[in-house]
Amino acid sequence: MSWLNWFWDEHQLLLQQCFSIPFGFLFYFLATFGFLSLRCRYLYMCIGGFILAVITMGIYSILLFTSVFIFVVLVCTVDHRSLHKWVFGVQMLWQTLFVYLKKAVRLTLSLNGLSLSESYEVLLPVISYILNFTALLGGPLCIFAHFVSFIEGIDVNPPPNPSCVVSVKLVQVFLLEYLRYSFLLIVNYTYNSNLIYGVISMWAIAMVLRLHYYAHWQISECLNNAAGLGFCGTKAGCTDWSGLSDGGFWVTESSVCISEFARRWNATTANWLRRLVYKRCKYFPLPLTFGFSLWWHGLRVGHCIGFSIWAATVNVDQYIQRNWLPKLSAAWMKAICVSLSWITTQIIITCIVIICVPSVTNLLLSCMSTTKNATQKNLSH
């Protein structure tokens, strides 16, 4: 029983999303076979998110529902020409105060002059989008227009059966968790040793934490795919379900420069930040984008230092990519440059993760405790 409790505590969020996958499949089959009307599809997503929030968040789900209620009040009372600014400002104030809710509303609606029934028809898709159970716990960030297009068109032009792709991605989640525990063994073996082992240990700790994100993004992608979300056509005769991918392990970790890593890491949110901030800023777009992302994540000291390092290194990397790399003509020089750039990227990301993620301290203490216990056992023998 203690083993089961440990397993649940260690993988609670992953298991909660796994248990939601059958409900995603149920939505897909009911919707594609025409058993759900348009209104019922929105209600399915909305009620599913409500139940999932209550079960997983408990009393803290009140924060989510309060945010939804405030948004509905704003939509019904604020003039549509200034609605986006009001929603954005109130949401970011809420974000700053509680550092909790990660789903701001990024759309402008006009409800002026609509009847009660018409307002209901407009509000239902929005509330369904906010409480969508497939993205409530771990994302990914789906554009509102894509969400509405999917819900309205799933019975007319349904995506192919997602059973196979979900099965494959679930196996990948298992492999990512297995790889994460392999790196934990490396940490336990190399921690509290000489300098070289210490460097390897720090890199392995950062990799453990990144693998934790990769696994959660992959299970979130599974849940969305199970409901039919994320399909983006056929490529080379194979169905492509990567439309809502936040970044695969191999693709992201093979990034040979820090700016490329920044684009691939948490890809749906990175694309949103690019649209929302980077492309709209005439002056200093890169610092402002990272500054807004810092505000979004919470203005902690570690985050301030980590995001500042990240922004500075991306800026330097972009300069190198524009001015230095084109001057390299020999293939061997480019190969050396790419190799050194990949190593540098890994070092920078390791430093940023160590600085930003508070759970590093707990992991270090755990490793110290494990090492100490192992040493004591060896001495006793």
DSSP letters spanning 301-365: HHHHHHHHHHHHHHHHHHHHHHHTGGG--SHHHHHHHHHHHHHHHHHHHHHHHHHH-THHHHHHH
Q: Is 238 helix (H, G, I), strand (E, B) or coil?
A: strand
Cis peptide bond upstream of 140, omega within 30: yes
First to last CA, the chain: 30
CA dihedral 98, 102, 107, 110 (to 10 degrees): -50
DSSP string, 126-148: HHHHHT-TTTTTT-----HHHHH
Write out the two tokens for 263: 């684009």
Same domain, yes or no: 177 and 279: yes
pLDDT at 100 (0 to 100):
43
H/E run at residue 239 = strand 238-239
Same domain, yes or no: 183 and 321: yes
**Cβ distance 181 to 7 under 8 Å?**
no
Same domain, yes or no: 315 and 283: yes
**Cβ distance 109 to 50 under 8 Å?**
no
Helix axes 38-57, 144-153, angle to 10 degrees: 120
Give CA–CA dist 92/101, Å, rounded. Answer: 10
Same domain, yes or no: 91 and 225: no
pLDDT at 32 (0 to 100):
94
Same domain, yes or no: 214 and 337: yes
pLDDT at 101 (0 to 100):
43
Give CA–CA dist 362/224, Å, rounded. Answer: 32
Domain assignment present for residue 347? The answer is yes
Domain assignment present for residue 4? The answer is no
Give CA–CA dist 68/378, Å, rounded. Answer: 57
Write out the two tokens for 305: 């230092």
266 assigned to active site? yes
pLDDT at 193 (0 to 100):
63
> 238: which strand partners?
235
**Cβ distance 328 to 337 under 8 Å?**
yes
Q: For every one of its 381 residues, what pLDDT tens digit does the chain have, with 9 covering 90 and above?
A: 566 776 777 788 889 999 999 999 999 999 999 999 999 999 999 999 999 999 998 888 888 888 888 888 887 788 777 877 787 787 777 766 655 444 433 334 334 444 555 566 778 898 899 899 999 988 898 888 899 999 999 988 999 999 999 999 999 999 999 999 898 888 877 766 677 887 888 898 899 999 999 999 999 999 999 999 999 888 877 889 999 999 889 999 999 999 999 999 999 999 999 998 999 898 899 999 999 998 888 778 888 999 999 999 999 999 888 888 877 778 888 888 889 999 999 999 999 998 887 655 565 556 555 555 555 555 455
Same domain, yes or no: 206 and 127: no
Give CA–CA dist 353/357, Å, rounded. Answer: 6
Write out the two tokens for 40: 């019922």
pLDDT at 312 (0 to 100):
95
Q: Which residue among 212, 271, 297, 315 is the active-site one?
A: 297
Same domain, yes or no: 246 and 118: no
Range of the domain at 204: 162-371
Q: Which residue among 266, 271, 323, 378 is the active-site one?
A: 266
> 239: which strand partners?
234
Same domain, yes or no: 172 and 286: yes
**Cβ distance 183 to 176 under 8 Å?**
no
Give CA–CA dist 220/133, Å, rounded. Answer: 10
Same domain, yes or no: 83 and 169: no
E strands along 180-243, which residues? 234-235, 238-239
List, in order, residues 6 or more apart from 30 with CB less than 8 Å away. 36, 44
Only one residue has tokens 């019904």, namely: 76
Same domain, yes or no: 182 and 280: yes
pLDDT at 358 (0 to 100):
62
pLDDT at 102 (0 to 100):
45
Same domain, yes or no: 119 and 266: no
Same domain, yes or no: 137 and 69: yes
CA dihedral 54, 56, 58, 61 (to 10 degrees): -60
Backbone angles phi and psi of 235, in degrees to 5: -125, 125
Considering its fold, how many domains does the chain have in total? 2
**Cβ distance 363 to 187 under 8 Å?**
yes
> Whole-prediction pTM value?
0.86
Nearest by Cα to 247 from 232, 228, 260 = 260
Domain assignment present for residue 150? The answer is yes
Domain assignment present for residue 380? The answer is no
11 assigned to active site? no
